[in-house]
Chains A and B, each alone.
Chain A
Amino acid sequence: MADTVKLPEDSFKPISADDRTALDSEKIAAPSLTFAQDAWRRLRKNKGAWISLIVLAIVFIMAFGSIFVSPHDPNAVNPSYANLPSKIPGIGINGFNGTLVQAGQRVDAYKQAGASNLHYIMGTDYLGRDLFSRVLYGTRISLIIALVATLFDLTIGVTYGMFSGWKGGRIDTIMQRIIEIILSIPNLVVIVLLILILKPGMTSIIIAIALTSWTNMARLVRAQTMELKEQEFILAARTLGERPMQIAFKHLLPNLSSVIIINTMFTIPNAIFFEATLSYIGIGISSPQASLGTLLNDGQKNFQFLPYQMWWPALVLSIIMLAFNLLGDGLRDAFDPRTKE
C-alpha cells in the first residue's frame, strides 16, 4: 500500500507558517450561515411565500392607491347603469364580455343600458356603482380594520404574554386563568357583544377584534419568554442589574420577534375574516362605507342572477387570506429550524 510514486524533494519538510495560515483560511471559507441568513435562504426558496408577498404588495398598492386614483367614484350612484356585468376590454369569454343571460338568451347588457362605450371590469352593483372601485375601497377598509386591530392585538398580546411569562408564579397562573375564561366564549360572540355596546361602526369593530384576538399571541409569547428567561444571556443581564424594561426591549423582544412575526401573519387574516363575517351578518360596516364583508353580503342577495357581484369580492377576500396564510406558513418554516432539510 505504501506509495511508489516519486514525491517532490521538499515534501517531507514540516509545513511553513504561510502554508498554515492558508490552511486556516480555507477552513473559514465554508459558508456558515447565521440564523437570520439561514431563515432568509429558506424563505427565498419558498415560492408560495414569495408569490404571496408579491400578491399582497399589489393588493396593498391598489387598495391604498385607489385613494388617489380610482377608476370611478366607489360611491357614485348611477341607476341607469345598474347591475351591468363584468366587461374587460379585449376578452371575449362569456362572463367577462359584458353579456348576460336574460330569459334564456345571452344579451349585451351594456348595449341595453346604452353604455356600449363604457366598460366596468368587475361590473356594477344594484345602484350602478362601479364594483371594481368598490372592491378596492372595501379591500382598503378591510385591510385598515385588520391591520389596526392586529396592531392593538399585538401590543396587548405581547405585553401580556411577556409580563405573565416573566413574572411566573401566582401572577402567571391568574393571568393564564383569565385567558382561559376569555377563550371559553367563542370569539365572535364576544365581538358581537362588544359591538352592541360600542355601537356598530369601524372603530368598534377594530376595538372588538383587538380585544378578543390577543390571547393566542399572549400564550405564544409567554411560552417563549419562560424559555428565554432561563437562558444565560438573560440571567447575565439580570445579575448585571439591568432593569426589567431594558431586558424586555433589549433582550427579550429581539428573540421573540420570529414568534411575533409568524403569529401576526395568522392574526391578520383572522381579523379580516371576523370583519367580513360581522359585515356579512349586518352589524359591521354600514353604507355608504363598504368592506369586503358588506360587498359579499350585497352580492349574495343576487347571486342566483348576478353571480359576479359576489364572485369578485369573494375572490379578492380569499386571495388575501390565502396570501397571508401562505406567507405565514413560509415564515414559520423559515424560522423553524426543525423543518430544515
Chain B
Amino acid sequence: MENEKNILEVRNLQVNFKTYAGDVKAIRDVSFDLRKGETLAIVGESGSGKSVTTRTIMGLNASNADIASGTIKYKGDDLLKKSEKEMEAIRGQDIAEIFQDPMTSLDPTMKIGRQIAEPLMVHKGMKKEKALAQALEMMKLVGITDAENRINDYPHQFSGGMRQRIVIAIALVNYPEILIADEPTTALDVTIQAQILNLMKELQDKISTSIIFITHDLGVVAGMADRVAVMYAGKIVEYGTVDEIFYNPKHPYTWGLLSSMPTMDTGGDELPSIPGTPPDLLDPPKGDAFAARNAYALKIDTEKEPPFFKVSDTHYAATWLMHPDAPEVTPPAQIVERQKKYADMQSKLVQTQRTTGPVEEEEEQQ
C-alpha cells in the first residue's frame, strides 16, 4: 500500500516490554499512515500504547523494549533498521516531538534561548550567535511576548502555557516534516489548552508539517485533526476521518469514548465513563480485548479477534458487530443522534453536490 502522499507508514508494529512478570505486549500489530500536511489523531485511554507508539517512531524506547515485528517507513526508509547515529540525524530534524508535561520537559538549568537554539546547532551546525538569533525568531513565532528580554530566562520563570510554547518552538525550529505531539495539552488549563491548539494549527500551516496528535481526550480532536485512529489495548480498533469517527462511529469502544466526552449538550453533567479497566497486557485476552467491557459483546468476541471491516473507503472498524451475520444493535442514544446528524450531513452534501456539480473526489486509499 505504498502511497505518494504518505510521509510515514507504520506496518504491523509489535512492541513488547520485558518485565519481571513476563512480556508486556504494549503494541499489538499496529498499522497506520500519516499523510503529508495532515493531522492524524491517535486517541485512547491512558495505557493503550499511544506513547509507546510515538517513542518507537522516535527510536527512544525504554531499554527493556523489544520491537518484535513491523516496519516504520519514513520517506521510503525503515526507521527501525536505522543505526543510532542515523536516528540522531533524523530526530529533531525530520521528526520532532512535544511532550505532555511542559513543567518537566525543559532543562531547568539552561537558558531557554539556548534550549531552542540547540537543535539548530546540532543539525545545521550553526554557531551559537546565529542559532540564538533564529531561536529568537522562533520565540516570536510561537507567541512569547517580549522575546528579546526573555531569551536568557530560565524555564521556571515561565508559566505552563508559555513553557509549552517554548517546547513547541524547540520542536519546530528545524521545520520538521513530522511533529509528534504526545498529549501536548493534557497538563494545561482548559483556556491555555485552546491557545496551544490554535498555535499548533497556525504553525502547521506556516511551516507545513504533518502532525501525529496523541490524546486521551476526544474533545480536543475535533478542531485539530483530519483523521482519527482509536487505540485500545495496544491495537487500533477504528480509524476514519474526523467526521466519520465523530458522527458515524462503529466500534463500541469509540461509542464509549464519545459518550464520555463533554459536549455543549451534556454540559458539566456527570459523564458516563466506560466501566471497567483495560486488560492486562502481560496476558492479553483471547478474542476482542474490549469484550469484557463491552455491553454489546458477542460470543465470538471472546474467541476470535475481529478483523477490520470496511465502513467507507476511509473508515474501518475492528468489531464483530460489523459482520453481516451480527445482530442489529442499537448504540447508546447519544451515538444514534450523532449518526442521524451524520446522515443529514451526507444527504445535504449530496444535495449541494447535485446543485453545484461534482466536486473533486477526495480519494483516500488505505
Contacts and interface: CB of A to CB of B under 8 A. Distances in A.
Interface size class of A (residues with CB under 8 A): 20 to 34
B330 to A, nearest CB: 13
Interface string B307-318: 111100000100
Contact of B283 (A1, A30, A341): A30
Interface in B259-312: 276-277, 279-280, 282-283, 285, 291-292, 296-304, 307-310
A181 interface: no
Interface in B12-40: 19-21
B82 interface: no
B355 interface: no
B327 interface: yes
Interface string B46-79: 0000000000000000001000000000000000
A14 B283 contact: no
A238 interface: no
B20 A41 contact: yes
B299 A11 contact: yes
Given A11-B298, A15-B302, A27 B64 contact: no
B302 A13 contact: no
Q: SS class of chain B's interface: helix, strand, loop or mixed? A: loop
B279 A12 contact: no
A23 B307 contact: no
B307 A12 contact: no
B239 interface: no
Given A10-B299, A12-B323, A23-B292, A2 B64 contact: no
B280 A15 contact: no
A30 B285 CA distance: 11
B363 interface: no
A2 B310 contact: yes
B325 interface: yes
B213 interface: no
A11 B300 contact: yes
A177 interface: no
Given A1-B307, A14-B296, A15-B297, A31 B21 contact: yes
A91 interface: no
B232 interface: no
Counting chain B CB atoms within 10 Å of each CB, the highest count among A11, A29, A41 belongs to A11
Contact of B280 (A1, A7, A27, A341): A27
B66 to A, nearest CB: 15
Contacts of A16: 299
Interface string A14-37: 111001101110110111000000
Interface of B: 19-21, 64, 276-277, 279-280, 282-283, 285, 291-292, 296-304, 307-310, 316, 320, 323, 325-327
Interface of A: 1-3, 7-8, 10-16, 19-20, 22-24, 26-27, 29-31, 41, 45, 341
16 contacts: A11-B325, A12-B299, A12-B300, A14-B296, A15-B297, A15-B302, A19-B302, A20-B297, A23-B285, A23-B291, A23-B302, A27-B279, A30-B283, A41-B20, A341-B20, A341-B64
